[in-house]
């Protein structure tokens, strides 16, 4: 078992052979070896190790495409709080759990050009990330610079993100403007990610008499129907414009039902986060409820049960974390007023183990579900499939060798000084080796080379 180093022989180009494993793609399992040359997959089949070839012995193990978390908040400031995770910490945990690409957000700030914003965010990741990084763009100056838009898409920015709420943060976009953006994005083949909570529904919630020391009040302020109303409106716009639309962090089964019903008339996909499948508003009760404040909020057990059933039967194209880890100090500082507590949960390190435990162990789904919903479909959303998200000749050699039945170990959602979202949860999924574009970055669950991060910024 393990990993044999290269010999001393002369080599023109470095190759690695992943030998003896079972490959999983969205098409199912296949017993085959994978030869990696440089950054790409060169051959797949029954392959014999070369005399001086570096060999990863995957006998008895499973080989997955490098997985992708399309929704992470890292190395950024949200409100008054600096996020707990930087690219070094978040990307380390990502690769150690089998994630080889993450997608973050470029949110334009006031007084800043979109180009400045892109450069500011790239600088946070450049040379400091162990996995590859993509960015979704959120322009905040209306109207957008439509001439600049086409150039951004041809430069590789395939996804944009807008919000139907957060007026006070300067992020609100009306349905009218969403429709205009969709008309512009559709012919470019770019996709729009939308945070769906109807602002008028939220504004109409009667807040007098509510107890703002009780974290459960946050869920009352952001009711399920706000998500449903916004999703209905966005689906209509998607159908009218033909724009590809992706609904982020779906938290209600009713909104999901509307999305499912619209798939024939609109190019729509959606994600949920593992915390909506594992936790309920019961987590908001008791002394530590403020730690579980996130938006959209955790829902009722009845909703969670429906979401879990939908996840197990393939209703979500993909799963993503909305990783947004705040420091313990920031979570605790104003816990006596839940309106002032920063909303967000750590999750990046829990994505793969939590979905493995839920889909594969609990619901007996094949391991290919992870290849489909955590690699292929996320890569398609980002517009980088099959370069990423696939095990195919010519694809980037992003590969993950796992033992699904290893010793149980704790699920860890962040390496930063932030509250653990999944305390006491364990997984038998053990990550042995991870390649990022042909480079071995993880061996037996640990970083190989901390000082030379291998990640690249995709766009
Ligand atoms: Zn988010």
Ion ligand 1 contact residues with beta carbon within 5 A:
322
Is 322 contained in some domain? yes
> 10: CA distance to ligand 1 center in Å?
48
> 295: CA distance to ligand 1 center in Å?
8
The tokens 């305390």 sit on which residue? 423
Is 346 contained in some domain? yes
Angle formed by the axes of helices 175-185 and 224-241, to 10°?
Answer: 40
Domain coverage including residue 245: 66-382
Render 306-370 in DSSP notation, one character per residue.
HHHHHHHTT-SSEE---B-PPPHHHHHHTTTSGGGSPP-B--GGGHHHHHIIIIIIIS---THHH
Is 290 contained in some domain? yes
> 309: CA distance to ligand 1 center in Å?
23
Is 162 contained in some domain? yes
Is 12 contained in some domain? no
Burial class (CB in 10 A: 0-12, 13-18, 19+), 92: buried
pLDDT averaged per 10 residues, the chain (length 459): 47 85 90 97 97 96 98 94 98 98 97 96 97 98 94 96 95 98 98 98 95 96 98 98 98 98 97 98 94 98 98 98 98 95 98 98 97 98 98 98 97 98 98 98 96 95
Shortest CA distance to 350 belongs to which of 322, 314, 375?
322
DSSP 5: P
> 448: CA distance to ligand 1 center in Å?
30
> 322: CA distance to ligand 1 center in Å?
5
> 56: CA distance to ligand 1 center in Å?
36
> 169: CA distance to ligand 1 center in Å?
14
Is 312 contained in some domain? yes
Check residue 231 and give its pLDDT. 98
The total domain count for the chain is 1
Beta strands across the sheet bearing 439-443? 28-31, 22-25, 62-65, 399-403, 430-436, 439-443, 446-447
CATH of the domain at 176: 3.20.20.140
């Amino acid at each position: 078992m393990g990993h044999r180093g290269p010999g001393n022989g002369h080599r023109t180009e470095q190759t690695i052979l992943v030998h003896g494993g079972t490959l999983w793609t969205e098409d199912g399992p296949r017993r085959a070896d994978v030869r990696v040359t440089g950054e790409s997959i060169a051959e797949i089949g029954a392959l014999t190790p070369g005399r001086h070839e570096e060999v990863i012995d995957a006998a008895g193990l499973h080989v997955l495409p490098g997985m992708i978390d399309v929704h992470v908040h890292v190395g950024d400031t949200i409100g008054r709080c600096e996020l707990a995770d930087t690219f070094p910490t978040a990307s380390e945990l990502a690769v150690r759990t089998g994630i080889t690409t993450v997608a973050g957000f470029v949110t334009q700030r006031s007084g800043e050009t979109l180009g400045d914003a892109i450069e500011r965010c790239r600088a946070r990741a450049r040379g400091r990330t162990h996995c590859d990084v993509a960015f979704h763009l959120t322009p905040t100056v209306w109207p957008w610079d439509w001439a600049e838009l086409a150039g951004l898409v041809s430069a590789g920015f395939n996804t944009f993100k807008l919000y139907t709420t957060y007026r006070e943060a300067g992020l609100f976009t009306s349905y009218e403007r969403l429709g205009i953006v969709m008309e512009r994005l559709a012919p470019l083949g770019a996709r729009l990610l939308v945070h769906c909570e109807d602002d008028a529904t939220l504004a109409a919630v009667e807040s007098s008499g509510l107890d703002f020391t009780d974290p459960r009040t946050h869920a009352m302020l952001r009711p399920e129907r706000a998500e449903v109303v916004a999703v209905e409106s966005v689906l209509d716009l998607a159908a009218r414009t033909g724009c590809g639309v992706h609904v982020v962090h779906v938290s209600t089964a009713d909104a999901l039902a509307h999305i499912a019903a619209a798939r024939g008339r609109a190019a729509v996909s959606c994600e949920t986060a593992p915390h909506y499948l594992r936790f309920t508003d019961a987590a908001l009760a008791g002394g530590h409820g403020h730690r579980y404040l996130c938006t959209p909020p955790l829902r009722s057990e009845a909703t969670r049960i429906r979401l879990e059933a939908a996840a197990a039967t393939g209703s979500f194209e993909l799963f993503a974390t909305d990783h947004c880890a705040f420091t313990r100090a920031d979570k605790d500082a104003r816990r006596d007023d839940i309106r002032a507590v920063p909303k967000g949960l750590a999750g990046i390190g829990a994505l793969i183990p939590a979905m493995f435990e839920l889909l594969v162990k609990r619901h007996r789904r094949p391991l290919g579900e992870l290849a489909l919903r955590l690699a292929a479909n996320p890569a398609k959303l980002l517009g980088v499939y099959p370069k990423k998200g696939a095990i195919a000749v010519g694809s980037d050699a992003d590969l993950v060798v796992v033992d699904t039945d290893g010793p149980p170990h704790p699920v860890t959602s962040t390496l930063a000084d932030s509250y653990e979202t999944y305390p006491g949860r364990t997984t038998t999924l053990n990550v042995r080796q991870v390649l990022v574009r042909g480079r071995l970055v993880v061996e037996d669950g640990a970083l190989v080379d901390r000082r030379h991060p291998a990640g690249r910024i995709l766009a």
